[in-house]
C-alpha cells in the first residue's frame, strides 16, 4: 500500500484499486482508521483523540489532493506524496 504522507508518528496510506467510498488509511502505533475523503468521517477502526484531530486537520487542508490521489490509485498509477502537517 503506497504511503502518501507521514507526520507526528501518523502514516497515511492508500490501496491501489480499493473499494468505494473514496478513503485513506491512517496508522498510528497499533491503531488504524479508515477515513472517508469527502466528509472526513471514520468509516472503520479508530485512532486516539489527539491523532484523530491531527489527521482531520491534515485531511481538511489536503482534500483536493486526496481526491486526486484516490483517482490515481483507482487507475493503478503512482499516487504521489502530500505535504505533512507542520
**What global pTM score does this model have?**
0.93
Please compute the mean of the pLDDT values over residues 51-78 and round it to a whole number.
95
Residue range 53-62, pLDDT digits in tens: 999 999 999 9
pLDDT for 6 equals: 97
Quote the CA–CA distance of 15 and 76 in Å, as a whole number: 9
* Residue 1 pLDDT exceeds 80: no
In tens, the pLDDT along 32-56 reads 999 999 999 999 999 999 999 999 9
Contacts of 50 (CB under 8 A, 6+ apart): none
Please give the DSSP secondary-structure letter assigned to residue 79. -
> Does residue 23 sit in helix, strand or coil?
strand
Q: So what's the pLDDT on residue 52?
A: 97
Helices marked H in 13-86: 49-61, 63-74
Amino acid at each position: 500500500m503506497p504511503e502518501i504522507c507521514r507526520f507526528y508518528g501518523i502514516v497515511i496510506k492508500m490501496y491501489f484499486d480499493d473499494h468505494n467510498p473514496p478513503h485513506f488509511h491512517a496508522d498510528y502505533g497499533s491503531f488504524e482508521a479508515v477515513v472517508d475523503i469527502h466528509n472526513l468521517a471514520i468509516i472503520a477502526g479508530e485512532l486516539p483523540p489527539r491523532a484523530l484531530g491531527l489527521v482531520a486537520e491534515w485531511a481538511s487542508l489536503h482534500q483536493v489532493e486526496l481526491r486526486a490521489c484516490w483517482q490515481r490509485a483507482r487507475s493503478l498509477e503512482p499516487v504521489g506524496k502530500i505535504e505533512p502537517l507542520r
